């Protein structure tokens, strides 16, 4: 059975496919890290009145037998806008891809031209994510197939060996594994 693809996996695909594979296979390390705790805290405390106005929703879809699920914390039903709160804009491309995935799943549920807004309360910065174009939709579908292909492998892809690795909670796991393989 194909693995369910969610927003976190889409985001990780744009950062590190090895991290994505580990998550999808139940290896979760950063849940306990201070960084993730801080990120969650920012989401919960930055816009405290928001939950009165917006709705938390979970929508599902299927693309070519690939199950998709989008858990959206803040959705403006009336204006069809997804709000996503992030701590830092360092990985903005991954954040945009995550929101675009949410828009895709909403579209599959009959929502017409949803849009998104990324918010970085610590930086006082917002970024608008436009409604999907035909090309973007095709690109998302290509990525869904690629993710499914990666997740069907019995081993994770090779470690990235990028500066990002030093701050990643899987650092020890990845580099000890690579040494073992070499
Ligand atoms: S340590 Fe590097 S290769 Fe391993 S999961 Fe993290 S980012 Fe990816």
pLDDT given for residue 175 in this prediction: 82
Identify the band that residue 32 occupies on the pLDDT scale cut at 50, 70 and 90.
very low
Identify the band that residue 33 occupies on the pLDDT scale cut at 50, 70 and 90.
very low
Q: Rounded to whole angstroms, how far apart are CA atoms 1 and 40?
A: 31
Q: Rounded to whole angstroms, how far apart are CA atoms 59 and 102?
A: 9
pLDDT over threshold 70, residue 52: no
Q: Which string of b and e fits 49-75 if b means at least 16 CB within 10 Å?
A: eeeeebeebebebebeebebebebbbb
- Bridge partners (DSSP) of residue 74 are 83
pLDDT given for residue 50 in this prediction: 65
The pTM of the full predicted model, rounded to 2 decimals, is: 0.87
pLDDT over threshold 60, residue 168: yes
pLDDT over threshold 90, residue 161: no
Mean pLDDT, to the nearest integer, of 163-177?
Answer: 84
> Does the Cβ of 170 fall within 6 Å of ligand 1?
yes
Nearest residue (CA) to ligand 1, atom 2: 165
From residue 176, give the alpha-carbon distance in Å to each of 33, 173, 181. 20, 6, 9
> Does the Cβ of 21 fall within 6 Å of ligand 1?
no
Ligand 1 centroid distance, CA of 26 (Å): 15
Domain 5-177, CATH class in plain words: alpha beta
Q: Could you identify the atom of ligand 1 that is nearest to the CA of residue 15?
A: 7
> Does the Cβ of 160 fall within 6 Å of ligand 1?
yes
> Does the Cβ of 61 fall within 6 Å of ligand 1?
no
pLDDT given for residue 174 in this prediction: 87
- Bridge partners (DSSP) of residue 66 are 63
pLDDT given for residue 1 in this prediction: 80
Summarised one tens digit per residue, pLDDT across range 98-156 is: 999 999 999 999 999 999 999 998 898 999 999 999 999 999 999 999 999 999 999 99
Q: Rounded to whole angstroms, how far apart are CA atoms 170 and 58?
A: 28
Give Cβ neighbours of residue 25 (< 8 Å, ≥ 6 apart).
151, 156
> Does the Cβ of 159 fall within 6 Å of ligand 1?
yes
From residue 58, give the alpha-carbon distance in Å to each of 70, 71, 152. 6, 4, 25
Mean pLDDT, to the nearest integer, of 71-85?
Answer: 94
* From 167, 171, 177, 178, mutation site for ligand 1 pocket: most ligand atoms within 8 A of C-beta: 171
Q: Which residue has the tokens 């959206």?
A: 72
Lowest mean pLDDT among 4-13, 36-45, 63-72: 36-45
Q: Domain boundaries in the chain? A: 5-177
């Amino acid at each position: 059975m194909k693995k369910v693809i969610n927003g976190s996996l889409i985001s990780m695909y744009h950062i590190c496919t090895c991290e994505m594979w580990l998550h999808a296979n139940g290896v979760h390390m950063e849940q306990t890290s201070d960084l993730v705790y801080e990120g969650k805290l920012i989401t919960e405390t930055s816009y405290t009145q928001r939950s009165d106005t917006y709705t938390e929703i979970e929508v599902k879809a299927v693309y070519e037998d690939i199950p998709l699920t989008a858990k959206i914390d803040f959705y403006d039903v009336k204006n069809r806008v997804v709000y996503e709160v992030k701590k830092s804009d360092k990985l903005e491309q991954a954040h945009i891809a995550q929101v675009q995935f949410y828009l895709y799943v909403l579209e599959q549920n009959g929502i017409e031209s949803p849009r998104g807004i990324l918010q970085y309360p610590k930086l006082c910065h917002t970024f608008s994510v436009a409604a999907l174009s035909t090309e973007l939709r095709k690109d998302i579908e290509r990525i869904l197939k690629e993710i499914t292909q990666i997740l069907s492998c019995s081993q994770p892809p090779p470690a990235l060996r990028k500066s990002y690795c030093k701050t990643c909670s899987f650092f020890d796991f990845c580099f000890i594994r690579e040494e073992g393989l070499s």
